[in-house]
């Protein structure tokens, strides 16, 4: 049985979150949570919350499911919308600043 969870509009660039997502792909749920606790990046907190949501989705669908049986089948991080802001620069100019957002999707499976 597969369960899926998504986190949308997370204010961090996808390329930064993908560094963390690559570390946990294929691990079991308890191992992935241990790894995420020791990664000192903002993206690890985002992935940890989406992973907890995916686990609770799996447990709500199958009551007798154990956490040790779950493993991460897929993790992918997509680009969300980009906020365009301007920073003041020298001689009255303004430079564009792009604040990128991410969408995280995690698929858990027990098979």
Q: What is the CATH classification number for the domain harbouring 96?
A: 3.90.470.10
CA–CA dist 57, 68 (Å, integer): 15
Range of the domain at 48: 2-109
- Name the H helices within 3-103: 14-24, 29-37, 42-61
Provide the pLDDT for residue 111.
78
Count how many domains the chain has: 1
pTM, 2 dp: 0.89
Q: What is the pLDDT of residues 25-52, one digit of tens each?
A: 999 999 999 999 999 999 999 999 999 9
């Amino acid at each position: 049985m597969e369960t899926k969870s998504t986190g949308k509009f997370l204010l961090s660039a996808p390329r930064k979150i993908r560094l963390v997502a690559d570390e946990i792909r294929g691990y079991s749920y308890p191992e992935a949570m241990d790894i995420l606790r020791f990664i000192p990046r903002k993206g690890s907190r985002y992935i940890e919350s989406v992973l907890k949501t995916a686990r609770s989705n799996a447990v709500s669908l199958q009551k007798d499911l154990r956490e040790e049986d779950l493993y991460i089948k897929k993790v992918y991080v997509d680009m969300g919308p980009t906020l365009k802001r301007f920073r003041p620069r020298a001689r009255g100019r303004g430079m564009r600043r792009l604040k990128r957002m991410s969408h995280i999707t995690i698929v858990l499976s027990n098979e």
